[in-house]
Amino acid sequence: MSAVLPEAAIKVAEPELAATDAHVARGPGLFRRLLRDPVGAAALVLVVLLVGAAVLAPWLAPTDPYDNDLSLAMQPPGAAPGLWLGADAQGRNMVTRLLYGLRMSLLMGLASVVLGGVTGMVVGFAAAFWRRIDGLLMRLMDVLLSFPAILFGLALAAIFGPGIWAVVLALSVATVPLMARITRGAALGVMQQDYIEAARATGMSDTRLILRHLAPNCLSPIFVFTTLRFGQVILLGAALSFLGLGAQPPLAELGAMASEGRNFLFFAPHIAVIPCVLIFLVGLGFNILGDALRDALDPRLRR
């Protein structure tokens, strides 16, 4: 009799679990709710255009990003055929440099969010599931939260030298405690549900319980945070490159391009202004998209 009761309990709780999983994974419904918000739809279009331009940079760029012609140095936008956005101090086409710079910035942000996000999710799920180590893990996350990403970047650049990987590692470490806290908070709420207790009663292993029941029902806040964090990471990465800790010349990266152009603000302001505008658009697009996703995934805001 005792062996039957847990099975019955898990079957009773399965409809609740299925409804929750369907809510998380209902892609078309989420997309429709997102498009109903004009601001969210505009942010989605902006993000798709920016990501598409970065992915297709080798085909969209009119020239090679490292080809220079000093006779065209610091030419303003439209001053010569093909120079729609002008040329930089080395005579390189700004359109090409921006496309490849956007590509590098997005790759840096993606690597940072994936590395830091996955590590933070593991820490958050472990803290929520095994409460004996919760205090230790969260105090460690508090220590990491006390160090800004800029400080991590400075420390890693001093140890390994400036470069792309120093920035990625610094931003990944700064993302871990934030993702860990978001994941832990969502997981603690899910752990109180009846179907978790029913799954435990059937003798399901901890790993299977986390992967099958706990993780899928925490995806909504994790997904929203990842979108918001991606915009923040792009801005932080550009700031570190602007300080000379990230991409090094002649590599095209938005923050490094803005840093190169600051010496020519009075003679050729477009060299620094246009990359800064593009950084602003990337950060704005991902932040607004994250807010729109949060509203679309919130059941309290539905009619």
Rg value, the chain, Cα: 24
Q: Which of 61-65, 184-188, 216-220, 281-285 has the lowest mean pLDDT?
A: 216-220
229 or 8, which is more confident? 229
pLDDT at residue number 15: 39
* Tally of CA atoms within 13 A in the half-sphere of 152 that contains its CB: 21
The pLDDT of residue 263 is 87
Residue 141 near residue 123, CB atoms below 8 Å: yes
> What is the per-residue pLDDT for 179?
94
Q: What is the pLDDT of residue 301?
A: 58
Residue 47 has pLDDT above 80, yes or no: yes
What is this structure's pTM? Answer: 0.84
pLDDT band for position 24 (cuts 50, 70, 90): very low
pLDDT digits (tens, 9 = 90+) for 76-134: 998 888 889 989 989 999 999 999 999 999 999 999 999 999 999 999 999 988 888 98
Within 10 Å of residue 277's Cβ, how many Cβ atoms? 14
Dihedral (CA of 274, 105, 291, 44) sign: positive
Averaged over 216-233, what is the pLDDT?
Answer: 89
| Residue 266: CA count within 13 A, CB half-sphere | 1
Positive or negative torsion for Cα 239, 242, 243, 248: positive
pLDDT-based confidence at residue 298 (cuts at 50, 70, 90): low
31 or 125: which leads in pLDDT: 125
Please tell me the least confidently modeled range out of 28-32, 35-39, 72-76. Answer: 28-32
Res 215: pLDDT: 83
The whole-number average pLDDT for the span 22-44 is: 72
Please give, one letter per residue, the 3-state secondary structure of the chain. Answer: CCCHHHHHHHHHHHHHHHHHHHHHHCHHHHHHHHHHCHHHHHHHHHHHHHHHHHHCHHHHCCCCCCCCCHHHCCCCCCCCCCCCCCECCCCCEHHHHHHHHHHHHHHHHHHHHHHHHHHHHHHHHHHHHCHHHHHHHHHHHHHHHCCCHHHHHHHHHHHHCCCHHHHHHHHHHHHHHHHHHHHHHHHHHHHCCHHHHHHHHCCCCHHHHHHHHHCHHHHHHHHHHHHHHHHHHHHHHHHHHHCCCCCCCCCCCHHHHHHHHHHHCCCCCHHHHHHHHHHHHHHHHHHHHHHHHHHHHCHHHCC
Closest C-alpha among 164, 213, 171 to residue 10: 213
Mean pLDDT of 206-223: 83
Residues 235-293 have pLDDT tens digits of: 999 999 998 888 888 889 999 999 998 888 888 899 999 999 999 999 999 999 988 88
Q: Which domains does the chain have, with CATH numbers?
A: 42-62+83-295 (1.10.3720.10)
